[in-house]
Structure 1
Amino acid sequence: MSDKFTPMMRQYRRIKSEIDPDVILMFRLGDFYELFFEDAKYAAPILNVALTKRSGYPMCGVPHHAMDSYLGKLIRAGCKVAICEQMEDPAAAKGIVRREITRIITPGTITEEGALEDERNNYIAAISHFPGKGFGLAALELSTGELIVENHENIASLIDAIYRIAPCEGIVPISEDSPDEERKQTDIFKQSGVNCVTPVDGWFYEESFAYTTLTNHFTVASLEGFGCEGNSAVIRAAGAILYHVKENLRRDLSHVTAMRLGQTSGYMTLDDATCGHLDLLPMAGRNKAHTLYGVLNATRTPMGARLLHRWVARPLLNLETINNRHDAVEILTKTRSILTPIRDLLAEVRDLERTIARVSLGRGSPRDINAISNALKIAPEIRERLEPAAKGEVLEKILNGLLPLNELTDTIDKTLVESPPATMNEGGMIRTGVNTELDELKDAAANGRAWIAKYQADEIKRTGIKTLKVKFNKIFGYFIEVSSGQLANVPEEYVRKQTMVNCERFITPELKEREEKIIGAADRSIILENEIFDALREKVVSETAAIQAVASAIAELDALCSLADRALALDYTRPAMDESDTIRITDSRHPVIEQLPDSERFVPNDVELNCSTRQIMVITGPNMAGKSTYIRQVALLVVMAQMGSFVPAKTASIGIVDRVFTRVGASDDLAKGRSTFMVEMEETANILNNATTRSLIVLDEIGRGTSTFDGISIAWAVAEYLHNTPAVKAKTLFATHYHELTDLSLTLNGVVNCNVLVRERGDSVVFLRRIVDGTADKSYGIAVAKLAGMPETVLHRAREILENLEADELSESGISA
């Protein structure tokens, strides 16, 4: 059966059989990567390229120089892709060119610059369940070399962590001994929003094997230095992920130089519902500018942007750490003469984290090496600018991380030309004077080109053919091209090589003899340049850990400078942090809404909450008056303060909060068969079961998805439970249209009533957006319906029915009985 295939196609089919059927094979043929059979049929519409045929087989292809952008399209479509390269020069190959798969790329292991988002990390994750010791979570960021591991006591905590890290892919074990584990772990990833889940062999997770994988990779005797010795859950997860990426995906991991054990106890817990309700981070279908991250992100480097993203997702709990970060931001805000030039220097730094990762993976270009050198040379300049202001633990640590690597940058600058080419294929990247043989070869090639130019001029003069040109292509080499109208003047010694539509091409023995010298020198020159570049790349790779340390310092400084810049530009103030149970803020503003270009002038509001006299604020008022904005902005300011940012307020005193809970809005989950009301009740149950006295709860309309009496009863009981249960006596903002709930303040001394001020003008209302103590006397629902454009006849009828409802005198026709 295989006899019907060409040798090249037999090679393709053999290599394709080495990988899983769901992996697309991009097969290098000359200047193109080509796809065949079902791969071509599936990928062509994703790549937006024509589906054609080769020898009768379905085929499509993309140019090799544009591979990164096409690869990005496949990965974003959820594909896994194997890259098959030519492992020898086709011109020197005897028979079929040797080809091998060099790497397999999946959604969680992208390193190609054009396929990654600058501001987001791209993790692949693994989890391990160890009975009695909870769960281990490992996440690898191949494009930066970061490996983080965490312990979690239960599934809820694990799901929150996966949502926070937001990996693009998860791996799960296949094992005959534990057939349900694959399904369980897949469900956990799916619940956490991870759509790409890859099964791997279960023995990757065996503890002794995973331990050996880790110790061999880091070349250490034990994992004590990483704080993971004896931590079975994280060892299994981390070992499995490293082995899978290295062996199954054939990726180099030399730039993964450390494993960081995350301290989950040191960070505020934010579940996926809270992150979504508060618009903390960009999500699919949501404008980045309309998120807290979008408002705070004025970073100048991709590393800083990614770190700031993590800070928003993981507010701090340790008072000293929070104050240290605030100290750093405050120093930068008070030394604008230092802040501005530092930010200007940061803007010149490329993505150092991902660039050194590409170089370590063997895919770094001359421009990547040059970018590393430029960034490393800027680091001492940043250090010099920062030094006068580097007071306090955070800035001093950054200063110590901005160490110069002069020997490395000198070597790079002395080796590479000032503006090197993007690829290594054409030469021209090594400076004159680096290698004597190379200089001689370059001179020979350059002299050859001068000889060609003189030869053309001499031939034009000798033959009288003014349109004669000496050209070059890869098929014929150098040739003489003569237009059809001048063929009568062609000398006899010209040997015809090719006839074209409007011209003919010729060669001469003299031209071919010179061609061998020119091309030989150029080819040898390129080979030698590549050898010199490879040696330079190895020297850069040997400094990976030091370069990563500089990148880390730059990222942290950039994130801090971004917070300082936003504090100055947006009139933020430093919050006073303590361990009390009190939140007291004057003139607080919503950080996102106040920045919307078409928003009205924002009205600031005060807030005071504690766990005794003002534990639960029951907030009433009409729709659109600002209740939801107010309760969200209080939660947002707490998140901002604990992530290290200043806050939009006149003054702020905030006792540290361990967790922010939100129950906001209404949405069905039809895929899981859950109604709006069921979703609401599950979110509320989560709050009641997990809140503590240090939590902050935001409740926006509980009980709307059922009958009025049921809804009031549930909302009332929830408020009583939060007030009366010592373990769950959390600070709570409770917005509601159930005016009956205002009676809670008569019996519960921690409940206070607040409302949104409204000014009536005839049948219309003006929302003043001010939150004050007291209860709202009306709902103003009909006035809001008027603002929405409801027909006047409907509004008139509604007023009539409302009057009779309030009088308890409604007949079947809606008229007073």
Structure 2
Amino acid sequence: LTLRDDLRDQLKGMYDLQRLTSRVATGRCSPRDLSCLSTTLGQLPRLKACLSERRSARLQTLEQRIDLCAEVRQAISETLVDDPPVSAGDGNVVREGFNAELDEFRELSRGGKQWIAGYQAKESERTGIPSLKIGFNKVFGYYLEVTAAHLDKVPDDYIRKQTLKNQERFITPELKEYEGKVLRAEDRAIALEQEILGRLKEDVARYVARLLATADALAEVDVFTGLAALAAVGGYCRPEVTEDPVLDIREGRHPVLDRLMPSGQFVPNDVRLGVDTEQIEQTGRADGLNGRVQIITGPNMAGKSTYIRQGALLTIMSQMGSFVPASEARIGVADRVFARVGASDELGRGQSTFMVEMTETARILNSATRRSVVILDEIGRGTSTYDGISLAWSITEHLHDETACRTMFATHYHELTDLTQTLKHAANWHVSVQENNDDVIFMHRVVEGAAGRSYGIHVARLAGVPGTVTERATRILEALENQNVNEEGQSTVPKREPKRQQQQLRLFDFPEDPLLDEIRQLNVDEMTPREAMDELYRLHQEIARRDDE
């Protein structure tokens, strides 16, 4: 077996150590929880042995962090039975031989019950009542029950306690004497068991910090083995993580859909995004990459959203140390991954779908940096067509010129494909389709170039929209498309004006106030609230002094 298989076999026999320890720390653990804790600790020596003397520095560190806590396991296994009940009130929690007094109470309890069974047989024979039986209830304890047909055989020493429709119930001094012994023994046994269990909980609680540290190490081992198993089964590759802001993935697959769909059915795609500064410095070219902004067009249901989410997910997976579902991958470190996908509103806040979309977009534009990865899906679709195109156009320009981050923008606005004529590091990609007369076959393959059509009317036809509606829509589409191009067939969207350089110096160039330097030098993260208030008061006094002068 491989190390991965060995570790997974050991982990299968363990319970959630962090959850069990949390219950111990809060005093809410049951006997069953303590037994599960002991079982988990019993697996640790074998797992620790699997990790020992490994070349990986991380595995060596994890092996050292795993604390066997042998004292805890020994205390639990010596005290509790192998399969204790969930509740301590059910009894039979503490192991035989652990406490002599408890064993005595248990023996008396078992012996008393045996005596009652023998007493019933003896009385039945003495009285000649074959149906005589002994019962118990919480009102008056044990009793002798005689049916109405045998009441004439009841001896004089029986004391009547209850009369029912077809039988009567009696007690005897001898029966009550043994009843007292049995019940007291059972109660005292349960009370003593709970006392022993309480002491055990207190003893285990002293090891909470060590148990939690071990739980953290086990969680990390669990993640590593899970990722390793997934990579082996899914044919993942080890990505090259670089400082360059690139996203170069060959034959990449969506990590979730690749597992959900039948084997071989998911269509892999390349992602070639970013500007490889290292390659440009060495060769003067950026072969294989298509700029930092991808504008992805294509019909609905063709896979645009899957494609851009796949790129973001593989970025996260590579940065967390996982292999990725691809044949080859070179992925630059990202400080954050921003996503504006899907459509939702927040009625509780009085925000429409479009308002939510714009709020999230504003957060991206104000927070993204050169090292960020941004995926945008259908920005601007929640408003009018021209407003949506205008916003999408301007947002793309801002991400390209100002933020200069890796961006994947899936859109149905085909006018945006003209941006590659004015944006140096933008590229058009589209999801290919195959047309057969009036039918459309989605190839789910993302290739270079802009899509010629959106195929929205074709999708509507596939969805069952009446033919008269789709035919009318086709004629309207032709009329609308002719309105947005000039005589040469080019888009009528105006080009972006370049930044204006400041040509004239200010008439009065005031020097910067020294107080600004003082404020910049303040380390507010390490100041106490009192120190911050004192500093604010000092600055206020300084400004007031200047005003007086």
Q: In which range does the TM-score fall when normalised by the shorter chain?
A: 0.7 to 0.9
CA contact (8 A) 1:593 1:599 kept: no
| Aligned 1:263-412 pairs, distance under 5 A | 337-387=2-52, 390-412=54-76
Q: Which residue in 2 is equivalent to 1:759?
A: 434
Distance 1:485 1:594 in 2: 78
Post-superposition Cα deviations, 1:486-516, rounded to whole Å, max 9, x if no partner, equal 3333222211212334432211000011112
Q: Quick one: which amino acid aligns to residue 584 of structure 1? A: D
8 Å Cα contact 1:737-1:779 kept in structure 2 = yes
Q: Which residue of 1 aligns with 2:518?
A: none
Where does residue 769 of structure 1 map in the other structure? 444
1:605 aligns with 2:282: no
User: Compared with structure 1, are the counterparts of its residues 658 and 514 closer, same or farther at alpha carbon in structure 2 (3 Å cutoff)?
Assistant: same
Q: Which residue of 2 aligns with 1:542?
A: 206
**Partner of 2:88: helix, strand, or coil?**
coil
Please point out which of 308, 316, 324 is paired with 1:639.
316
For each residue in 1:703-750, what CA deviation from the matched residue of structure 2 results, as whole angstroms up to 9, or x when unmatched?
22233232222222112212222xx11010111122221111112110
TM-score, with length taken from structure 2 = 0.81
Question: 1 or 2 for the larger relative contact order (CA 8 Å, sep ≥6)?
Answer: 2
- Distance, in Å, in 1 between the alignment partners of 2:221 and 2:404 is 39
Query: Are 2:237 and 2:324, in contact at CA under 8 Å, matched by a contact in 1?
Result: yes
Q: Is the 8 A contact 1:370 1:416 kept in 2?
A: yes
User: Are the equivalent residues in 2 in contact too, given 1:380–1:403 (CA < 8 A)?
Assistant: no
C-alpha separation in 2, matches of 1:609 and 1:770: 16
Counterpart position of 1:109: none
Summarize deviations over 1:124-149 as a string: whole Å, max 9, x none: xxxxxxxxxxxxxxxxxxxxxxxxxx
C-alpha distance in 2 between matches for 1:492 and 1:629 = 90
Q: Please state how far the C-alpha of 1:616 moved relative to its aligned partner.
A: 0.5
Q: 1:794 to 1:434 in 2, by over 3 A?
A: same
Q: Are the counterparts in 2 of residues 498 and 504 from structure 1 also a CA contact under 8 Å?
A: yes
1:785 Cα offset (Å): 1.1
Q: 1:723 corresponds to which residue?
A: 400
Distance 1:426 1:808 in 2: 82
Q: Which residue of 1 aligns with 2:533?
A: none
CA distance in 2, matches of 1:466, 1:694: 92
- After superposition, give the CA deviation of every residue in 1:568-627 in whole Å (9 maximum; x if it has no partner): 222222222121111110111112223335899211000111147511111111111111
Match of 2:337?
A: 660
In the other structure, the counterpart of 1:739 is 414
Partners in 2 of 1:442 and 1:678 — Cα distance?
71
The 5 A counterparts of 1:101-500 are 337-387=2-52, 390-500=54-164
Change (3 A) 1:702 1:532: closer
C-alpha distance 679-416 of structure 1, shift in aligned 2 (>3 A): closer
The one-letter code of the counterpart of 2:430 is N
Deviation at 1:776, TM superposition (A): 1.1
Q: Post-superposition shift, 1:459?
A: 1.4
> Aligned letter for 1:779?
S
- Structure 1 length normalisation: TM-score? 0.55
The whole-number CA distance in structure 1 between the counterparts of 2:262 and 2:467 is 28
The reply on whether 1:802 has 2:477 as its aligned counterpart is yes
Residues 807 and 418 (structure 1), Cα distance of their counterparts in 2 relative to 1, 3 Å cut: closer
Q: Are the equivalent residues in 2 in contact too, given 1:611–1:730 (CA < 8 A)?
A: no
Aligned partner of 1:413: which letter?
S
Determine the C-alpha separation between the residues in 1 that align with 2:483 and 2:263. Answer: 41
2:219 matched residue in structure 1: 555
- Residue number in structure 1 paired with 2:229: 565
Distance change (3 Å), C-alpha of 1:709 and 1:534: closer
Say if 2:238 and 2:329, in contact at 8 Å, map to a contact too: yes
Q: In the aligned structure 2, how far is the partner of 1:597 from the partner of 1:583? A: 25
Please give the per-residue CA displacement for 1:374-427, whole angstroms capped at 9, x wherever unaligned: 111111122123336x33232112211223222332222222222222222243
Contact 1:666–1:680 (Cα < 8 Å) also in 2? yes
Q: Match for 2:187 among 509, 512, 523?
A: 523
Secondary structure in structure 2 of the residue aligned to 1:742: helix
* Distance in 1 (alpha carbons) for counterparts of 2:214 and 2:429: 51
Corresponding position: 1:780 with 2:445: no
Match 1:576 to one of 229, 240, 244? 240
Q: Are 1:749 and 2:424 counterparts?
A: yes
Partner amino acid, structure 1, of 2:303: G
Cα distance in 2, alignment partners of residues 589 and 579 from structure 1: 23
The one-letter amino acid of 2:364's match is: I
3-state SS of paired residue (2:136): strand
Where 2:15 maps in the other structure, the secondary structure is: coil
Whether the 8 Å contact between 1:616 and 1:750 is mirrored in structure 2 is yes
8 Å contact from structure 1 (residues 380, 402) kept in 2: no
Alpha carbons 2:250, 2:328 under 8 Å: kept: yes
Which of 354, 360, 377 matches 1:677?
354
Contact preservation (8 Å) 2:373, 2:406? yes
Deviation at residue 648 of structure 1 after TM alignment: 1.4
Contact 1:611 1:693 in 2 (8 A): no
Query: CA distance change for structure 1 residues 722 and 749 in 2, over 3 Å: closer, same or farther?
Result: same
* C-alpha deviation, 1:474, in angstroms: 2.8
Q: Matched residues, percent identical?
A: 51
Q: Aligned residue pairs: how many? A: 471
Which structure's CA Rg is the greater one? 2
CA distance in 2, matches of 1:500, 1:402: 66
CA gap of 1:394–1:599, structure 2 versus 1, over 3 A, is closer
Q: Distance in 2 between matches of 1:650 and 1:448?
A: 75
Distance (Å, rounded) in 1 between the aligned partners of 2:128 and 2:198: 49
State the one-letter code of the partner of 1:763.
D
How far does residue 804 in structure 1 lie from its aligned partner after superposition? 4.2
User: Judging changes above 3 Å, is the alpha-carbon distance between structure 1 residues 605 and 431 closer, same or farther for their aligned structure 2 residues?
Assistant: same
Q: Is the 8 A contact 1:611 1:729 kept in 2?
A: no
Residue 294 (structure 2) aligns with: 617
Separation in 1, partners of 2:84, 2:265: 52
Q: Which secondary structure state, in structure 2, belongs to the residue aligned with residue 425 of structure 1?
A: helix
Counterpart in 1 of 2:372? 695
- Given the superposition, is the C-alpha separation of residues 413 and 502 from structure 1 closer, same or farther in structure 2, using an over 3 Å criterion? farther
Q: What displacement does 1:547 show?
A: 1.9
* CA distance in structure 1 between the partners assigned to 2:258 and 2:90 by the alignment: 53
Using the alignment, how far apart are the partners of 1:715 and 1:353 within structure 2? 47
CA offsets 1:652-686 (integer angstroms, 9 cap, x no match): 11111111112223333333233332222222211
Match of 2:172 among 504, 508, 519: 508
Structure 2 CA distance for partners of 1:501 and 1:377, relative to 1, 3 Å? farther
Whichever residue aligns with residue 460 of structure 1, its letter is: S
Alpha carbons of 1:807 and 1:655: their partners in 2 closer, same or farther (altered >3 Å)?
Answer: closer
Paired with 1:615 and 1:370, the residues of 2 have a C-alpha distance of: 56
Say which SS state the counterpart of residue 2 (structure 2) adopts.
helix
Q: How far has the Cα of 1:803 moved from its partner?
A: 3.9
Q: Which runs of 5+ in 2 are unaligned?
A: 277-289, 485-549
Quote the residue 1:650 is aligned against: 327
What is the DSSP-based 3-state SS (H/G/I as helix, E as strand, rest coil) of the residue aligned with 1:648?
Answer: coil
